[in-house]
Structure 1
Amino acid sequence: MTSISAPALAASALDDGMTAYRQGDFEKSAAIFGPLAENGDATAQYLLSCQMINGAGIPANEDTGWDLMQKAAHNRQPDASIILARKAEASQAPKDQIRALYQQSADQGETQAMLWLALDAMDQGHNDTAKTLLEKAWELGDPRAATLLANRFTKTDSGRYQYLRAAAQNGEMRAAAYLAEEARSVNDTAEAVGWCAIATGLPGHNEDVDWKTIGDAVEKNCGKFDKDLDDTARAANRERVDQFLATFFENYKPWTPWKACAVR
């Protein structure tokens, strides 16, 4: 007979709770998270605190919920630290207190916190520290860091373009907006329209999209980039746009941004 250890049972229960939470079965997730949270599981503490604060599946109890959020942060749950940092910002707490919470989250590999710390470092004139934080965040896959590196720290046009393109390839729409303007500056109307389409969030990678709706949206949002072409040249340009978008979406791997109280 094979025995199952207590940690393995706890991990299994946590998985069940997270599945229920993800599916919106909050009564079930709360019932599972409760005992785990009492035993010090940081993830259970964090998600149960979210439920308590928002009254999801259980009666709302903000005081107890925030106390539990504090425990989760104390147990090094990085999302809990970010939420507490944001709460501290909203209450205009001392900057050192806010910074310490973000640092605690960044130390656990949370890029959302790294970006805040990088911007904070830039505000203080500590550009080397900011660059190091952004490089780490980009290494961990956060495309917003690549956009900031492109605009704040690259010294060549080619380096900036490479960062922006990589960021856009990972779903960073602001990078695509910058690239649209770059393409317009060199009169590349096909890429200008294409990057603009990406920047507006058009789902060109989805097989089930309504292509007429996409075409209408491209015309409305991005037609300014090739409006001066005659009808024949404009039609040819839109064919090049289609080719550009098809190539882009072949390697499109959108990044999932941080969201409070989400299961990842």
Structure 2
Amino acid sequence: MAKRIAVAGALLALMMGGALADALADGFSAFGRGDHAAALAQWQPLAEAGDARAQFNLGVLHDQGLGVTADRAAAVEWYRKAAEQGDARAQFNLGLIFATGDGVAQDGAEAARWYAMAAEQGDVLARFNLAILYEEGSIVPQDHAEAARLYEAAATENKFHRAMYALGNLYSQGLGVERDSSRAAELFGEANEAEMMTESSSGCTPRGTVVREECRRTTPQG
């Protein structure tokens, strides 16, 4: 009897999982054809049931005012729910929102906390933007060594050319690392080659040495 109940439970879980996946995909299809209200209708129940991908997607809809009136506070709450479940894209968006003070009070500690969570998962833009915060030291304590570590990770693991440039600048000035003109020149050369090959695997490229609003993750997860 117990075995039958266990089997039935497993089958029910599989059926529910399939239904959730279908609803998520249906919402993504609706979003793709511009029917944001239909996407919202598909994702809302999933998000309320705790699906991190749907929660991130609702954050995007509220953030961008797609299918619903733009509401940054609601976007932050949905991003936070997804981020607390380990969604790196949501963690990155929260980091950016708190770093720029866009719709919330600017909070360097919160920005760094969320960026760090995404960076630990290998998110290239989180690594890059967090490095910028530590290099500039405007809303978090300046820490060139930590900036160099993060630029190094984005440069070597993510092959991100802007991180290569930034790390090269630190080596050329001896900030956070021992001054090394040869290493700086090497990084500048690698950055030029990487830039010619691709803009960024992330689909969103920070420009210059500031955190840019346009680099928020705005593509839903299907």
Whether these two folds match at TM > 0.5 is yes
TM-score (norm 1): 0.58
- Range 59-68 or range 159-168, more displaced: 59-68
Partner of 2:209: none
Partner of 1:67: 77
Q: Are 1:155 and 2:155 matched, yes or no?
A: no
Q: Percent identity?
A: 25
Tell me, what secondary structure is at the counterpart of 1:260?
coil
Matched AA of 1:80: A
Q: Are 1:106 and 2:119 matched, yes or no?
A: yes
Partner of 1:247: none
Q: Is the 8 A contact 1:103 1:117 kept in 2?
A: yes
- Please give the alpha-carbon distance, in whole angstroms, between the structure 2 residues aligned to 1:136 and 1:8: 37
Q: Root-mean-square deviation (CA), in Å?
A: 2.9
Against the structure 1 CA distance between its residues 161 and 144, is the aligned structure 2 distance closer, same or farther, given a 3 Å change threshold? closer
Q: Are 1:57 and 2:64 matched, yes or no?
A: no
- Please give the alpha-carbon distance, in whole angstroms, between the structure 2 residues aligned to 1:135 and 1:12: 40
Partner of 1:198: none
Against the structure 1 CA distance between its residues 95 and 52, is the aligned structure 2 distance closer, same or farther, given a 3 Å change threshold? closer
Question: How far has the Cα of 1:33 moved from its partner?
Answer: 0.7
Q: Are 1:262 and 2:219 matched, yes or no?
A: yes
Matched AA of 1:142: F
- Please give the alpha-carbon distance, in whole angstroms, between the structure 2 residues aligned to 1:120 and 1:132: 13
Q: Are 1:166 and 2:193 matched, yes or no?
A: yes
Q: Is the 8 A contact 2:96 2:216 kept in 1?
A: no
Against the structure 1 CA distance between its residues 141 and 29, is the aligned structure 2 distance closer, same or farther, given a 3 Å change threshold? farther
- Please give the alpha-carbon distance, in whole angstroms, between the structure 1 residues aligned to 2:124 and 2:196: 18
Higher RCO by CA contacts (8 Å cutoff, separation 6 or greater)? 2
- Please give the alpha-carbon distance, in whole angstroms, between the structure 1 residues aligned to 2:161 and 2:120: 19
Structure 1: 4+ residue segments shifted above 6 A: none
Question: How far has the Cα of 1:45 moved from its partner?
Answer: 0.8
Q: Is the 8 A contact 1:117 1:130 kept in 2?
A: yes
The total of aligned residue pairs comes to: 182
Against the structure 1 CA distance between its residues 160 and 67, is the aligned structure 2 distance closer, same or farther, given a 3 Å change threshold? closer
Against the structure 1 CA distance between its residues 13 and 137, is the aligned structure 2 distance closer, same or farther, given a 3 Å change threshold? farther
Matched AA of 2:219: A
Structure 2 residues not aligned, in runs of 5+: 1-10, 172-179, 205-214
Structure 1 residues not aligned, in runs of 5+: 173-252
Residue in structure 1 matching 2:27, options 9, 14, 17: 17
Question: How far has the Cα of 1:255 moved from its partner?
Answer: 6.0
Q: Is the 8 A contact 1:149 1:163 kept in 2?
A: no
Larger radius of gyration: 1
Q: Is the 8 A contact 1:170 1:254 kept in 2?
A: no
